[in-house]
Structure 1
């Protein structure tokens, strides 16, 4: 069973609602990511449009999380600009599934930013092979950000 599918422009309002759980969301970047097909969505049910639940009814395609990877340039690197899962669906492995798909598709360095006090996110990122690669003082309104990176040969 997969709960991850490509994002669609019709998901935009649901994903914008999820952005309220981000420290510093970027609605314009999200809209662009949806237009160019970069967004991956975690849905409440299974991931394909025609997926069926165990009892044969259509699966719930409602987005409950997403990841927005942004290509970094000619070196093939990727920066995870946004990753969010609705609080009611955390601790279900959804963030790991979303990032796992990004990592599986990446053949170069993957980076992301995280608040140093976000212990749950830091644990997840370390479990997926990310390591602290730097710090951006004052990146967040009133706080620093850690730069985390995973090289293609990692994990």
Structure 2
């Protein structure tokens, strides 16, 4: 398992992976290289997961993190998150949002030092989101 920056040739694989998200943002993925960071987890050279973050000098926001169903429970999401956190300058605030009922994701984020910082009402079409934050 490896994590690397996304390449233009990964686009169709990333589009397919994005379909596993409950509320994907195709326009954000299309603009990903212009607004931030896209890292991929690979099986061989085939992307089986990705992390998309919107970056600024003072903060980063993990907008999408997805792993293909047949590649889950292998530590890929954790490796993507770890790799992204390493790219952030020390002292940078990193945030993300997650559905309150997504226990697997919440557990992952908490293992990586994120803590609940707030709640956004009706953030998702399906309902509220918890805002998690930590300092890189």
Structure-2-length-normalised TM-score = 0.92
Q: Is residue 2:88 matched to residue 1:106? A: yes
- Return the alpha-carbon distance in structure 1 between the equivalents of residues 28 and 113 of structure 2: 26
Structure 1 equivalent of residue 123 of structure 2: 139
Structure 2 equivalent of residue 18 of structure 1: 17
The CA deviation at 1:122 is 0.5
For structure 1, list consecutive stretches of 5 or more residues without a partner in the other structure.
45-59
The CA deviation at 1:33 is 1.4
Structure 1 equivalent of residue 66 of structure 2: 84
Structure 2 equivalent of residue 49 of structure 1: none
Structure 2 equivalent of residue 53 of structure 1: none
User: How many aligned positions are there?
Assistant: 134
* Structure holding more strand per residue: 2
Which of these residues, 114, 117, 120, is aligned with residue 101 of structure 2?
117
Structure 1 equivalent of residue 30 of structure 2: 31
List, as ranges, runs of 4+ consecutive aligned residues in structure 1 with deviation greater than 3 Å: 34-37
For structure 2, list consecutive stretches of 5 or more residues without a partner in the other structure.
none
- Return the alpha-carbon distance in structure 2 between the equivalents of residues 144 and 77 of structure 1: 22
RMSD of Structure 2 on Structure 1 (CA): 1.5
Structure-1-length-normalised TM-score = 0.82
Give per-residue Cα distances to partners, 1:47-80, cap 9 Å, x unaligned: xxxxxxxxxxxxx211100000111x35x20000
The CA deviation at 1:142 is 2.6
Equivalent pair of 2:50/2:66 in contact (CA under 8 Å): yes
